[in-house]
Amino acid sequence: MALGALLGACHEDDSGALRALYPLAGRTLLEYQVRCAAAAGAAPIVLLVDRIPPPLGEALEQLRREGLSVITASDGNEAASLFGAGEMVLMIADSVAPPPELLTSITEAAEPAIVTVPDDELHQNFERIDGVSRWAGVALVDAQTIGATAAMLGEWDLQSTLLRRTLQAGAVTVSVAPGSGEPVLADTPEELAALERQLIASSRGGRRDWASRYALPIVEEYATEALLNTPVRPQRLIDAAVLATVGAIAAFSTGWLWAGMALLALSTPLDLIARRLAAVRLRPLSPRSTMRRLLWPAAGLALLALGWWLSRHGGGWGAFYASAVALAFAEAARIERPKTEVPGQIWLFSRRNAILAAVPFALFGAWTAAIVATSVYAAASFFFVQYLNHRLQPS
């Protein structure tokens, strides 16, 4: 079933600023709404707006640069003409920030539906529907009703009138489940602060190695919050991690061992921070990103570069051999590693684990011992993965 989206950016606060442009997660509330609608599969996304002030134009341009085209309409008739016959339309009220999962669930409805919240003091700013419920700011309507409503609208508010006509036509009402994420109606920018904290918390995700679970969370949390309201793009952090690793290769190759280790350590949290920023901004990083894929082989080349330099400066051929063995076992363990989470998996060899485990050796200048320990770590991880695979096989 084709799905479109209808948004609004007309309501102003006491200062004359559009509420749709309130800041949220480093962008604007409108950009958040558009990303939510796009994540739910909506296209086209139509924005009903009286005028386009410069800040709104900048937000729309930013969305276009990210590949999310938003079509603006100045009135209801123009908006209705942009949807196809029989198309269902996801309507999000002006200045409402809905949880993404709520939009995904409502789009699965086979008929028009209205999302509601209780008529109580907590939700007194939401539009009342009846004596027991209020509109949560999210609805699924059909394009035909939009056209009919726009034709008789006059000076009335399109979204509010459309809500009433959809209810009169027999749309089902869906109550927000208690304890689940509720939409936020932002009358002031401060009312979005709690949602922003929730988005940051929900972006943590799983941490599959001990380095990210125990050693890097403080750095990750601080950097994520610090970068959230900046124009820094998550992909740039991935690029920085790869460049730092390439710099480590050059440093190890020329004998700048401390510089090389510092660059590797610097690279360890960058991809985690990038993933968090992308998740909060509802633009997840592509798993097919070339730069993300380069992190692992680049770290392997850094290990080989360290072994090569040590073999030429007192470490003998064994240093380079140990680094090659470590790389071979590490790649074999990565390929054979179970796809699902299993007990003890966080202690297995990974890029971050190996780098941070080598730091204590570097502090004491035991560079050859660091390579030997890395090769033992990789080999032990490989054999443990083989044990896990054998245990997981059906008997």
Residue 133 sits in a domain of what CATH number?
3.90.550.10
Q: Are residues 75 and 208 in the same domain?
A: no
CA dist., res. 113 & res. 291, Å (int): 42
Structural domain includes residue 19: yes
Q: Are residues 247 and 139 in the same domain?
A: no
Q: What is the per-residue pLDDT for 156?
A: 56
Choosing from 193, 227, 249, the residue where a domain stops is 193
Q: Are residues 228 and 324 in the same domain?
A: yes
Q: Count structural domains, the chain.
A: 2
Q: Are residues 81 and 125 in the same domain?
A: yes
Identify the CA nearest to 28 among candidates 189, 183, 184: 189
Structural domain includes residue 124: yes
Is pTM beyond 0.95 here? Answer: no
pLDDT tens digits for 136-183? 999 999 999 888 888 876 555 788 888 889 998 888 998 887 666 789
Q: Are residues 18 and 136 in the same domain?
A: yes
pLDDT tens digits for 14-63? 888 899 999 988 889 999 999 999 989 999 999 999 889 999 999 999 89
Q: Are residues 167 and 81 in the same domain?
A: yes
Q: Are residues 58 and 100 in the same domain?
A: yes
Structural domain includes residue 320: yes
Under 8 Å CB-to-CB from 56, ≥6 apart: which residues?
A: 9, 18, 20, 21, 30, 49
**Mean pLDDT rounded to a whole number for the chain:** 89
Q: Are residues 109 and 250 in the same domain?
A: no
Residue 330 sits in a domain of what CATH number?
1.20.120.1760
Structural domain includes residue 198: no
Q: Are residues 214 and 179 in the same domain?
A: no
Choosing from 138, 159, 193, the residue where a domain stops is 193
Note down the domain range covering 349: 203-392
Q: Are residues 154 and 260 in the same domain?
A: no
Question: Token digits for 112?
Answer: 């028009």
